[in-house]
Structure 1
Amino acid sequence: MSHHLEARRRTILTRGRPMTLRRERAGQAALVVEVTGFARAYRPEEFQGGVQANDQQVEILNDEIAAAGWPAPPGNPDRLVMDGRTSTVKGARPVYAGAELIGWSLWVNG
């Protein structure tokens, strides 16, 4: 395992909390996966390209998504439930360690 993956895993597990990623599918059961992640508000200098004051960036690992067979990437209109609040996933940026996909940086609103 790469040093980058271990450092990211340690940060997320230390700073993170349980969250639920949910994807509704017409006529089928919703896809649901429990993940651990941490959220941070965007800084004022990051308010560009559609980022709004109530948006957050959420860091999660790819481990839980891959283990659940979640069809990556997370994205709109997926929902992320954290601390009892539901947010809409507006976008997701993959995080790599070399060629290995190790996580996702989600842009959420709500």
Structure 2
Amino acid sequence: MTSSTDQACRTTFQLRQLIERGFQFLHPRDARGELAAVVGVRAHDTVIDVVRLHTEDDAVAMRMPADEVNVLAPSRFSWRRHGSAARVLDELLELPDDRTA
């Protein structure tokens, strides 16, 4: 069994790996000023990769064409995962950089 501390360390390491790959992160807030999510975006080649972390157990990541109009709710994507932050980040990190939409 993995402790929540171990999980947090793993997620932190994964986020650092994404930053090294060029992801830029935003921290949108709700009307009360509370953190709503952590959102990472990276545009490369002909695609955009987006990851949204809501909680440790609720994350979503997508790869979409670079011409997608709404990157937070795309109408088209070539890859999408939803699940725990650790699992989604693992799968996002496994995507090859040369893969296009």
User: TM-score scaled by structure 2?
Assistant: 0.35
> By percentage of residues, which structure has more strand?
1
User: TM-score scaled by structure 1?
Assistant: 0.34
> By percentage of residues, which structure has more helix?
2
